[in-house]
Amino acid sequence: MDIRVQQEPFDLGCEAAGFAEKTSASGAVVTFTGIVRNTPEGTLEYMDIEHYPGMTEAALGQIATDALTKWSLEDAMIIHRYGKIRVGEMIMMVATAARHRKDAFEAAEFLMDFLKSRAPFWKKEVSRDGAGWVAAREEDEDALTRWQQ
Amino acid sequence: MDVLYFAWVRERIGLPRETVETQAETVADLVAELIAREERYAAAFADLSALRVAVDQELVGFDASLAGAREVAFFPPMTGG
């Protein structure tokens, strides 16, 4: 299990390859990457991401541990950045490794659903017209209920 | 006790953390004490349904006990990923 909270960019190709190489019993690796998307008007300059040092690492560790318990995974990884991240840059990635793809896909989705609303990060959008905190979406909260059965 | 604020709660109160001397038994009691202090706290805590709270880095409800707590954090719903 590899959990990283960092300001620096990461290299998706290197991280995905390194993660896959470390596995020995897996036939499936799934990765998901989140990228800073521009507004429809194209005015966004960057995202400023704040987090709660200490709690962030603990929450991500707990979410990954839950995934490893719930699915038959060999390994899981989460990288999440904070600070100023420009449009088009990568914010975060998760990777899961399992014998078969179903476990790897489902566990990756579970990690994403919990990261969205249970990991202490807050996004501020800074655009040419001003700055504002991104509001949490109700769908993100609803997404958690399907994992609670 | 250390009290931490994040995102717009931090902006509204005007500081990221402070040490508070309190006898508050629950999070709700602490919130009431803070609101009574100054207008900027009242503004930040005006709508508790828009806030989340963690005691010693664990998410809890506003009725949670503060017995033995070292750190309380207030913030809006999280927007990770």
Q: Using an 8 Å CB-CB cutoff, list chain B residues near A121.
A: 78-81
Strand, coil or helix: A137: coil
Domains of chain A and any CATH numbers: 2-147 (3.90.1170.40)
Which residues of chain B does A135 touch, with a Cβ-Cβ cutoff of 8 Å?
77, 79
B16 DSSP 8-state letter: S
pLDDT-derived band at A149, boundaries 50, 70, 90: low
> What confidence tier does A69 reach under pLDDT thresholds 50, 70, 90?
very high
Hey, what are A124's tokens? 């501020």
| CB atoms closer than 10 angstroms to residue B48 | 13
Q: What is the mean pLDDT of chain A?
A: 95
B74 CB neighbours in chain A (<8 A) are none
CA distance A123 to A43: 16
Q: What ipTM goes with this model? A: 0.94
On whether the CB atoms of residues A126 and A46 are closer than 8 A, the answer is yes
The minimum CA-CA distance between A115 and chain B, rounded to whole Å, is 5
Q: How far is A4 from chain B (nearest CA, A)?
A: 13
Q: In a 3-state reduction of DSSP, which class is residue A65?
A: helix
pLDDT 10s digits, B19-57: 999 999 999 999 999 999 999 999 999 999 999 999 999
Full-model pTM: 0.94
